[in-house]
Amino acid sequence: MKTLRTSTIICLFVVALNAISYGQTDKGTSNIKYNTWSATLSGGSMLFYGDLRQFDFYPVTIKNSKDWYNITNGLSEYSGGFGLAISKQLSPVFGIQVMLEKGELGGINTKVNAHFNANIFTYGLNVKINLLPIFAPNLKSTKIAIYGIAGIGLCDFKTHEYTISTSTLISNYGYGDFGGSKKTTTETVIPLGIGVKYKINNQFDIGIESTINNVNTDKLDARVVTGSAKDKYGYTAITLTYKIGKNEKSLEWVTPKEMESDKNALLFAGMNRKIDSIGNKQKETSNKVNDIDGKVTQLQKDVADLKNPPKEADDDNDGVPNSKDLEPNTPKGNLVNFQGITIPKAVNKTVIEKTEATYNFEVGEKIVLNNIFFDFNKASLRPESYTELNRLVKQLKDMPTVKIEISGHTDNIGSAAYNKTLSESRAKSVVDYLLENGIDKSRLTYVGYGFDQPIASNKTDEGRQQNRRTEFKVISK
């Protein structure tokens, strides 16, 4: 018996695995959401078919004017049961269900003066096949379903056989088997059936179902007859099904035509989403391109402004615009500082006198180039600077191996970044002048220090005047 149980469980597992495999390879429903789970309650009549069976089809009490109720001492073959099934629909055609049934069976045979009573509990796995999608595939929709059932399971039962006349126990099974008074007899059962149901709404169905359960034994009625066919019992019941899930449709009620329509609708919806996505991406790309074009246009305008800064009015032509000129009427030819104030002649004379001597080229020594003048806030050399620079050109040509570094310096008025850029540009202007006058590029470098290396206090005009300077340092001789 243990071998029978093991074999049955293995068969149930194989059937379930094959059904699930079919469901997983059903590409028709992979992207469409349907309700696929349901629970079914059933209740109805159970009828035995075997040795202890008086009537051919259904129990009656009066037949051919005979009162069978008195003949059988009030015994009846009427019995009932109930069931529960949990189903998983794999496609519009195929589904699987776990089936549980419990009830009582009874039977009479007046020829042998015997009757029996049995308590049964049947459980197993069934395959459900919807027949309408097979035989009427062009149906658009339906509220009626016709289906077939086939499966395999186990039937646990306890049964007694008694005499009709005296109710004397003749035999029993399931009482005392396997060494215990409460052990039941277990046999394999193969149910085959058909059902019809009506769709009430999206959640509930009602129907009628009839199965013949073929039990692998002759013991169900407690009477074993050599050469007799194995016992069966029928279960005809009213069913009420609840479809589990929140989706609009249930898979078992979807016809092939309806599924094809759903697949097309899903396909078109997906295509529309892709088209919308492409359109949105194109719009985003266009916006980005427009944004980049705007930035490029602004950048080009900024570069143009840097190359051609607007010129402010300079009424006295001293190189300092009117807005920053503290001496607006400077006499022509006077040298002025960054504020447009005339540099005293005594200072000019002193500076010029200092520059008349030749430079002392010693490695590492820093020498201020006096009389180097630039336009206000610019790096362009003024003509007054050429005398000093020509003197430097001559001495560099006289000493062709000397290498020098030109450095620019400013006072502390303005930001550090601005002054560093201005000082570097002015140092480069000096180098460019030297290059134009025959000094080899390999002998020259330049750097701008801004106001990082003052030689006087930036708190006075005189100190700031000294800090605004151009120097050179001998790198090698």
- Tell me the per-residue pLDDT of 373-382, one tens digit each, with 9 for 90 and over: 887 778 888 8
Residue 239: DSSP 8-state: E
Given a contact cutoff of 8 angstroms between Cβ atoms, the answer to whether 100 and 83 are in contact is yes
pLDDT band at residue 56 under the 50/70/90 scheme: low
Residue 475 or residue 259, greater confidence: 475
User: Tens digits of per-residue pLDDT, 290-327?
Assistant: 888 888 888 887 777 666 666 677 777 766 777 766 77
CA pair distance 407, 420, nearest whole angstrom: 11
pLDDT for 431: 93
Fold match, 2-253 / 345-476: no
Range 156-161 average pLDDT? 91
Provide the sign of the torsion angle of the four alpha carbons 234, 17, 154, 3, taken in this order: positive
Cβ contacts of residue 295 below 8 Å, gap of 6+? none
Range 94-115 average pLDDT? 92
User: Tens digits of per-residue pLDDT, 166-216?
Assistant: 889 988 887 644 434 567 889 999 999 999 999 999 899 999 999 999 999
Range 131-153 average pLDDT? 89
Cβ contacts of residue 339 below 8 Å, gap of 6+? 320, 324, 325, 326, 327, 461
Q: Which CATH code of 3.30.1330.60, 3.60.20.10, 1.20.1630.10, 3.30.1600.10 fits the domain covering 345-476?
A: 3.30.1330.60
pLDDT for 12: 43
Longest dimension (CA), the chain: 159
pLDDT for 406: 93
pLDDT for 352: 39
Q: Where are the domains of the chain?
A: 2-253, 255-310, 345-476
pLDDT for 116: 92
pLDDT of residue 337 exceeding 80, the answer is no
pLDDT for 68: 59
pLDDT of residue 476 exceeding 80, the answer is yes
pLDDT band at residue 14 under the 50/70/90 scheme: very low
Burial class (CB in 10 A: 0-12, 13-18, 19+), 323: exposed
pLDDT for 23: 39
Tokens 């120097």 belong to residue:
471
pLDDT band at residue 17 under the 50/70/90 scheme: very low
Q: Which amino acid is at 192?
A: L
CATH number of 2-253: 2.40.160.20
Q: Which of 60-69, 144-153, 160-169, 265-274 has the lowest mean pLDDT?
A: 60-69
CA pair distance 429, 73, nearest whole angstrom: 134
CA pair distance 422, 468, nearest whole angstrom: 11
Q: Specify the pairing of strand 366-369 against strand 469-476.
A: antiparallel
